[in-house]
Chain A
Amino acid sequence: MLETLFPNVDGADMWEATLETIYMTAMSTLFTFIIGLVLGIVLFLTAPNQLWANKIVNWLTGAFVNIFRSIPFIILIILLIPFTKFLIGSIRGPNAALPALIIGAAPFYARMVLIALKEIDKGVIEAARSMGATTWTIIRKVLLPESKPALISGITVTAIALVGYTAMAGIIGAGGLGTLAFLDGFQRSREDVTLMATIAILVIVFIVQFIGDYLTRKADKR
């Protein structure tokens, strides 16, 4: 039945493209999480009246985050071609998509981290200070655990956005379901391939959302 509905879909190709999409999403989510977290924490702690209050660092980080968050992703990929070539040695394939994916998504996640950290009760940070905690201890044992549900739901939203970004990157040759849908499906007028690729992307998104929701619920003890 699948063959009558999707005559042009090659199972092996589809599977390979799905794995590439998963690979790009997973790697970029991982690095986005780390970089976004660091940027978010810096934004939070350098704000006025915070532990590392520093106008210059706060302004620079804020400017970096705002600029890269505002550039449309498709333009960012093109702008980053020289950087990607230098870093990866090529501008084709899943790895070549990673720099643009991470640089596009990390500032977005940094904003979410900042919002999550701002939600933490100031009194709890004061209590930790009154116990003689170092800033590092406060980050590790207060800021991160107390904002965990928001950090997880934030990275879930970001990961889903990244699935979409990988498809966009696919159009310029990153591989994955985006490339398959565009080159194999759209350009060769095989609507069934495009449709199947879309279904595969939806399944990935649903799975990411499900896992994210589950982890958020589990982390929240409020």
Chain B
Amino acid sequence: MIDLKGLTKVFDTGKARLTAVDHVDLTVPAGEIFGIIGYSGAGKSTLIRLLNGLEKPSEGSVEINGQNITAISGPKLRKARQKVSMIFQHFNLLWSRTVRENIEFPLEIAGVGKEERRKRSAELIELVGLEGRESAYPAQLSGGQKQRVGIARALANDPEVLLCDEATSALDPQTTDAILELLVDINKRLGLTIVLITHEMHVIRKICHRVAVMEGGRVVELGEVLHVFQHPKETITKRFVAQVTETEDSAETVRHLREQYPEGQLVKLIFVGDQAEQPILTQLIREYQVEVNIVHGNISHTQRGAYGTLILQLKGTTDEISKALAFLGAHDVQTEVMGNA
């Protein structure tokens, strides 16, 4: 669906040249929720604006559904933009228009007749759950409701791609979750390809299938969300992953845990995908002569399964403990001995 080749954007500010996006190659298949994470200044805002031609690249190309966005301009580009819509961190609604009129705005731009507009906006208002607020002005809505209007507005012209520019960064955690659920729902129901940029790892964890980590204009890491969570390679990725999994294996924590649980052996288990939902621990306790004490646990759910870590204190004979560890290994649970007491 989306194909980026050697995409580069250099801003020439007279004195300094700033490379905001540096030779990015990416492919996003149709129907995928693709996340781009990075700190501010990493170039992700520029990258997403290159996708709908709001910015022109200095080098490289953007192809969306077979159409080269970088090569077109004028009426053709405007037509293409109706199929690549966008939602924003600060919603960017017209305060002078009601909810319904805001949603009808892109339809007016596309030249849709009045009756058809009314019908379409009514459907969209229902889709995003804003029935009864049609005639309200944005000033009368909460942040979450405003973003729902933004989403309805973005969906008005049946886009193929939805670009989300930090769409939940201005919302509180509960509202963020509700908006993310709405995005997943839309992705499933309409088969829409979604590209989102964020600096919050839990957004990636909650809804994305794949993730690209950006730093200094480059994509430094790319992969399935679950895989990136398990095996973050770059330091920056590890920092992002730590946002949602906590740093239970830092040297400090390990020493602290050892002091607290001086007996037996401390073992860290890493569950990925299906095993996180299987009763492996129950089996372990039943079949082996070990005493199991759960010291610390954390499970994160992603779109493609769960990811979790569990720290156990195992007490028993060395023999039984190594048998128990072998059992876990046989069930694809990664184990890591954190040291003896």
Contacts and interface: CB of A to CB of B under 8 A. Distances in A.
Given A131-B82, A221-B137, A221-B139, A126 B92 contact: yes
Contacts of B78: 132-134
A131 B106 contact: yes
Interface string A119-141: 00101101111111110010001
Interface string B224-263: 0000000000000000000000000000000000000000
Contact of A141 (B79, B80, B108, B139): B108
Nearest to A138: B109
Interface in A56-81: none
Nearest to B97: A145
B86 interface: yes
Q: Per DSSP, are chain A's interface residues mostly helix, strand or loop, or mixed?
A: helix
Nearest to A137: B109
Contact of B92 (A124, A133, A137, A221): A124
Contact of B54 (A129, A221, A222): A129
Contact of B90 (A121, A134, A137, A145): A121
Contacts of B88: 123, 126-127
A126 B94 contact: no
Given A131-B85, A131-B106, A133-B109, A146 B96 contact: yes
A129 to B, nearest CB: 6
A131 B81 contact: yes
A148 interface: yes
Contacts of A129: 54, 81
Given A131-B105, A133-B78, A221 B85 contact: no
Interface in B87-115: 88, 90, 92-97, 105-106, 108-110
B105 A146 contact: no
Contacts of A121: 90, 92
B86 A127 contact: yes
A90 B147 CA distance: 60
A205 interface: no
Contacts of A148: 96
Contacts of B153: 131
A53 to B, nearest CB: 13
B52 interface: yes
A204 interface: no
A130 B95 contact: no
A130 B109 CA distance: 11
B234 to A, nearest CB: 31
Which of A124, A130, A134: most chain B CB closer than 10 A?
A: A130
Nearest to A148: B96
Interface in B132-189: 137, 139, 153, 157, 163
A142 interface: yes
Contacts of B137: 221-222
Contact of B95 (A127, A131, A134, A221): A221
7 contacts: A123-B88, A126-B88, A128-B105, A129-B54, A131-B153, A132-B77, A148-B96
Interface of A: 121, 123-124, 126-134, 137, 141-142, 145-146, 148, 219, 221-222
